[in-house]
Amino acid sequence: MKIVIEGLGKTYRGGQVALAGIELRVDAGMTGLLGPNGAGKTTLMRILTGVLRPTSGRVLVGEHDLTTSAGRTAVKRLLGYLPQELSLYPDLTARETLDYIALLKGIDDRKARAAQTADLLDQVGLAEHGSRRVGMFSGGMKRRLGIAQALLGDPRLIVVDEPTAGLDPHERMRFRALLAQLGGDRVTILSTHILDDVAQTCPRVCVLGGGALRYHGTTAGLTEAAAGRTYLLRADSQPSGGTVVNAVTDSAGIEYRLVGDPPPGATVITPTLEDGYVALLQAGETTKSTR
Ligand SMILES: Nc1ncnc2c1ncn2[C@@H]1O[C@H](COP(=O)(O)OP(=O)(O)OP(=O)(O)O)[C@@H](O)[C@H]1O
Ligand SMILES: [Mg+2]
């Protein structure tokens, strides 16, 4: 499976340009989707799921063309989607919720639905809570149920929009482990603001900024963008020159971590993905590809 995106544009009614001429090829495996608020991530994901029509350009998911209605119908059958804001029926139990969504996905056989539902509840650690009403679930439990519903029907394309927002560290680790199991020929696209989630689970990453593709390539390559430009500096007040990534106060003063041209006296350190992301946004480049 792969996704080919050509000249993709989306302008919302009212004139807001969300995507402007995206060219992108996404191969099987996990790909992270990063970008600031309003960059166009959700718009791109909604187009990939067939929920939203593009204004221009073409998207192929496998052999299916999303610009045609037959293509959108076909893609819905191969798709697992966890939207940024998933609404669940509070009065249904977890099991009923999955059963209902499985039915909508066209899994007509009752036994097959029951087996998949039980299996997925187990995988996301909700086996003991299958008979509880979803309205009583914590935020983390709802997210896990959201992921379970996305995995119904063994989808070839999995699109998850900020799945770990609001999860505690333990839940996040569990979630990453779950995603990591979804290898094979699947295309999985994970949008998030938590760079560590991408660093830990996605070998490849795309960065959107202002509706344009700012980077597409390996996650390691994005980290490298800050090589030689990530440094520590002790100072009494915020240093000028670089972008402050973080600052730690101890008894000796404040140690800043910055990305930029290291001044004399700074300690250059190994960058993380976060540093690379900051360096990319600093560079203000347009499309950059390491494919
Ligand atoms: N239904 C809509 N009507 C008009 N404009 C919209 C609509 N949805 C999104 N936009 C605009 O399109 C742009 C991209 O929005 P989008 O939701 O795709 O960003 P995002 O990268 O998902 O942001 P976030 O990180 O906040 O989720 C923004 O400027 C947003 O205001
Ligand atoms: Mg979004």
- State the ligand closest to the CA atom of 193: 1
- State the ligand closest to the CA atom of 84: 2
Please report the pLDDT score of residue 180 as a whole number.
Answer: 80
Contact status, residue 188 vs residue 14, Cβ threshold 8 Å: no
Cα separation, 75 vs 110, in Å, equals 23
Amino acid at 182: L
Cα separation, 269 vs 232, in Å, equals 7
Cα separation, 194 vs 155, in Å, equals 24
User: Would you say residue 224 has pLDDT above 70?
Assistant: yes
69 CB-near residues (< 8 Å, 6+ apart) = none
Mean pLDDT of 55-74: 93
The answer, yes or no, to whether any atom of ligand 1 lies below 6 A from the CB of 37, is: yes
Cα separation, 138 vs 126, in Å, equals 12
Mean pLDDT of 236-248: 90
User: Would you say residue 288 has pLDDT above 60?
Assistant: no
User: Would you say residue 17 has pLDDT above 80?
Assistant: yes
User: How far is CA 149 from each of CA 48, 83, 94, 155, 252, rounded to the nearest angstrom?
Assistant: 18, 11, 10, 11, 51
Ligand 1 closest atom vs CA 162: 27
The answer, yes or no, to whether any atom of ligand 1 lies below 6 A from the CB of 82, is: no
Mean pLDDT of 244-272: 93
Ligand 1 closest atom vs CA 41: 21
59 CA to middle of ligand 2, Å?
19
The answer, yes or no, to whether any atom of ligand 1 lies below 6 A from the CB of 192, is: no
Instruction: Give the residue, by CA position, lying nearest to ligand 1 atom 17.
Output: 42
Cα separation, 5 vs 201, in Å, equals 23
At 99, the pLDDT band (50, 70, 90 cuts) reads: very high
* 3-class state of residue 57 by DSSP: strand
Ligand 1 closest atom vs CA 46: 18
User: Would you say residue 257 has pLDDT above 60?
Assistant: yes
Residues constituting the chain: 291
Mean pLDDT of 131-146: 92
Provide the percentage of residues in the chain whose pLDDT is more than 70: 97
Please report the pLDDT score of residue 195 as a whole number.
Answer: 94
Please report the pLDDT score of residue 174 as a whole number.
Answer: 84
User: Would you say residue 290 has pLDDT above 80?
Assistant: no
Mean pLDDT of 98-105: 93
Q: Which CATH homologous superfamily contains domain 2-218?
A: P-loop containing nucleotide triphosphate hydrolases (3.40.50.300)
Provide the percentage of residues in the chain whose pLDDT is more than 90: 73
Instruction: Give the residue, by CA position, lying nearest to ligand 1 atom 1.
Output: 12
Domain ranges in the chain are 2-218, 224-284
Q: Which of 8, 10, 11, 12 to mutate to test the pocket of ligand 1 (most atoms within 8 A of CB)?
A: 12
User: Would you say residue 289 has pLDDT above 70?
Assistant: no
Question: Buried b / exposed e across 24-63, counting CB within 10 Å, b at 16+?
Answer: bebebbbbbbbbeeebbbbbbbbbbbbebebeebebbbbe
Enumerate the β-bridge partners of residue 18: none
Please report the pLDDT score of residue 173 as a whole number.
Answer: 87
User: Would you say residue 223 has pLDDT above 60?
Assistant: yes
User: Would you say residue 111 has pLDDT above 60?
Assistant: yes
